[in-house]
A and B are shown apart, each in its own frame.
Chain A
Amino acid sequence: MVEMKNVNVHYSSGVDALVDVNLRINDGEFVFIVGESGAGKSTLMKLMMRELVPSSGRVFVNGYNLSKLKGNRVAKFRRSIGVVFQEFRLIQDFTVYENVSFVLRIADQSGKYIRQRVPYVLNLVELAHKAKSRTKELSGGEQQRVAIARALANDPGLLIVDEPTGNLDPKRSYEIVGLLKEINRCGTTVVMITHEHELVRYFGGRIINLDKGTITFDETIGGNDENE
């Protein structure tokens, strides 16, 4: 669950990135956060990842009060969420398997669990056959799938996905969002930040629109994929 109460983010440059934001995302929801460049989408994501603390207001994610979370507990909090970035952010020298397994090592899981869990999540994203490939040898779509597998490795309750289709062609973009929808159907809350309105219209769901740091729209719409 994500909850923001009267959140303001004011940067030292003088920019008000978020102005009095109030929102609540319940467990199991799939939410698109949309808006133009500079609308505050990235700031919202940074708040949810505790990369940033609000200038005022309170942020709760997975039961953690991020406004008051001490530095030494941030690592533990981040292990409770999964994050997927636009530019994949995979370790290029690692194999696909290593990119996923090191998250489990960070969580101090046993070797036996890692050997079971990594093939399972790679199978979910249909990349089990590429486990031994170096990340840099993969296509953009495949790299994004590895990033999703890595985010799912710790079985997080919340998946935060930042512009996952930004570096992909349209076909791969639909595949990736389709995959995220599947993951959501299995019970994981998904918050996806995007500016691709066509994708949003196609898949539908709850849409939160940001404009100049303020929520201007928060509604649920039906999607075309439900009819397919």
Chain B
Amino acid sequence: MRTSNVSYLVKKGITSVWKNFVMSFASFSILLVSLLQISIAVLVMTNIDIIMGNIEDMNQISIFVVEDITDAQLDHIKSVLNNNADLTDVQYISPDEGKIRFNENLGEYAEIMEYLEENPVPHSFFARVKDIQRIRPVVTAVQSIDGVEEVRAPYDFASALQNIRKTFSVIVIGVMATLVLVSIVIISNTIRSSVFARRNEITIMKYVGATNGFIKLPFFVEGMFVGVVAGAASWGLTWFVYDSIFSLFTDNFTLWEMFGFFNLIPFDGVCWTVLGINCAAGALLGAVGTIISMGKYLKV
């Protein structure tokens, strides 16, 4: 097709937005609400994922060594732990340091320790497992190091987190798929009404030899144009809504930090990405809605 005719059809599609203002506005409103829901859901779910990651990072294993450990064995354990790619923040705690920490934990009962002749706290190490799913093989590997007596790991916590994460992923996929599906159904019905109102125009075009592509293009442009505008508008609304929610957590940072609410995504950081995705999703939904709606009227 000639460029001049393509640009004519594109222009026709855009002017149709104004000519069919009521239907365009209906499509715009539905797309706006759908895209707002989807983008807020994506941002909230991404942040929940970050929070889950933060909580996971809090997991720590404690490694206790045998009582009669030699300096050489201690150095060996240190070296093996530091070289283990699955571990991070490896920290050596001497018996004296361990005793101080223990006293702190005992609080008002700390004087009990005074009655002991020898310091009962052994040499120990603390480390974080990078990937909580690998906690069991990591513990087994650490357990086999010469001089290690016991490794304590939060298996229940890890297992609970893994289950929560799996369930969360399923919910995320389900919610997203439902939102997208519902949006497409509603949008295609709205566009179908618009197409129905112009069915005579479509029939005439078919009778005078228009190809389906020629007929579809202006509707396609119209759907995409409305989608892009709705995408941009939903981006603005998302910004407002998200910032309001975000400030709730950042204003009382210390309190929320305890529950893993840190490193949350500020909207400024994803501003252009969200705009791009919203506009692209709007255009796609508008286009898909158009394709679904038009088929019936092209069979002339």
Cβ–Cβ contact B204 & A78, under 8 A:
no
Interface check B4, CB cutoff 8 A: yes
Q: Which residues of A contact B269 (CB under 8 A)?
A: none
Interface residues of A in 103-145 (CB under 8 A from B): 103, 105-108, 110-111
Which residue in A49, A77, A80, A91 is a CB contact (below 8 Å) of B204? A91
Cβ–Cβ contact A93 & B19, under 8 A:
yes
Interface check A70, CB cutoff 8 A: no
A191 CA to B132 CA, complexed, in Å: 81
Partner-contacting stretch, out of B79-87, B93-101, B208-216, B228-236: B208-216
Interface check A150, CB cutoff 8 A: yes
Q: Which residue from chain A places its CB closest to the CB of B2 in the assembled complex?
A: A108
Cβ–Cβ contact A110 & B201, under 8 A:
no
Expressed in whole angstroms, the minimum distance between the Cβ of B217 and any Cβ of chain A is 11
Interface check B200, CB cutoff 8 A: yes
A80 CA to B208 CA, complexed, in Å: 9
Q: Which residue from chain A places its CB closest to the CB of B210 in the assembled complex?
A: A106
Q: Which residues of A contact B4 (CB under 8 A)?
A: 110-111
Cβ–Cβ contact B8 & A105, under 8 A:
yes
How many residues in B have their beta carbons less than 8 Å from beta carbons of A?
21
Expressed in whole angstroms, the minimum distance between the Cβ of A136 and any Cβ of chain B is 13
Interface check B52, CB cutoff 8 A: no
Interface check A171, CB cutoff 8 A: no
A90 CA to B8 CA, complexed, in Å: 19
Which residue in B5, B204, B207, B212 is a CB contact (below 8 Å) of A108? B5
Which residue in B19, B201, B203, B205 is a CB contact (below 8 Å) of A106? B205
Interface check B72, CB cutoff 8 A: no
Interface check A51, CB cutoff 8 A: yes
A91 CA to B207 CA, complexed, in Å: 12
A113 CA to B147 CA, complexed, in Å: 93
Which residue in A80, A89, A102, A110 is a CB contact (below 8 Å) of B207? A89
Interface residues of B in 40-82 (CB under 8 A from A): none
Q: Which residue from chain B places its CB closest to the CB of A151 in the assembled complex?
A: B208
Cβ–Cβ contact B5 & A78, under 8 A:
no
Is chain B's binding surface mostly helix, strand, loop or mixed? Answer: helix
Q: Which residues of A contact B19 (CB under 8 A)?
A: 93
Expressed in whole angstroms, the minimum distance between the Cβ of A53 and any Cβ of chain B is 13
Interface check B1, CB cutoff 8 A: yes
Cβ–Cβ contact A103 & B8, under 8 A:
no
Interface check B116, CB cutoff 8 A: no
Interface residues of B in 193-226 (CB under 8 A from A): 200-201, 203-212, 214
Q: Which residues of B contact A103 (CB under 8 A)?
A: 208-209
A103 CA to B4 CA, complexed, in Å: 14
Q: Which residues of B contact A77 (CB under 8 A)?
A: 209
Expressed in whole angstroms, the minimum distance between the Cβ of A91 and any Cβ of chain B is 5
A89 CA to B4 CA, complexed, in Å: 26
A51 CA to B209 CA, complexed, in Å: 11
Interface residues of B in 108-133 (CB under 8 A from A): none
Which residue in A49, A83, A106, A150 is a CB contact (below 8 Å) of B214? A106
Q: Mark B272-300, 1 if CB is under 8 A from A, else 0.
A: 00000000000000000000000000001
Contact of A108 with B1 at beta-carbon distance under 8 Å, contacts A89-B200, A91-B201, A93-B19 already known: yes
Cβ–Cβ contact A75 & B209, under 8 A:
yes
Expressed in whole angstroms, the minimum distance between the Cβ of A115 and any Cβ of chain B is 11
A82 CA to B122 CA, complexed, in Å: 99
Which residue in B9, B204, B211 is a CB contact (below 8 Å) of A89? B204
In the complex, the 5 A-B pairs of residues with the closest C-beta atoms, listed nearest first = A79-B209, A78-B209, A75-B211, A106-B210, A111-B4
Which residues of A are interface residues toward B (Cβ below 8 A)? 49, 51, 75-80, 83, 85, 89-91, 93, 102-103, 105-108, 110-111, 150, 154
In the complex, 22 of the A-B residue pairs with CB atoms within 8 angstroms, ordered by the A residue number, are: A51-B300, A75-B210, A75-B212, A76-B209, A77-B209, A78-B206, A78-B208, A83-B207, A89-B204, A91-B200, A91-B204, A102-B205, A103-B208, A105-B5, A105-B8, A105-B9, A106-B205, A106-B209, A106-B214, A108-B2, A108-B5, A110-B4
Which residues of B are interface residues toward A (Cβ below 8 A)? 1-2, 4-5, 8-9, 19, 200-201, 203-212, 214, 300
Given contacts A85-B207, A91-B200, 7 further A-B pairs with CB under 8 A are A78-B209, A89-B200, A89-B204, A89-B207, A103-B208, A108-B1, A154-B209
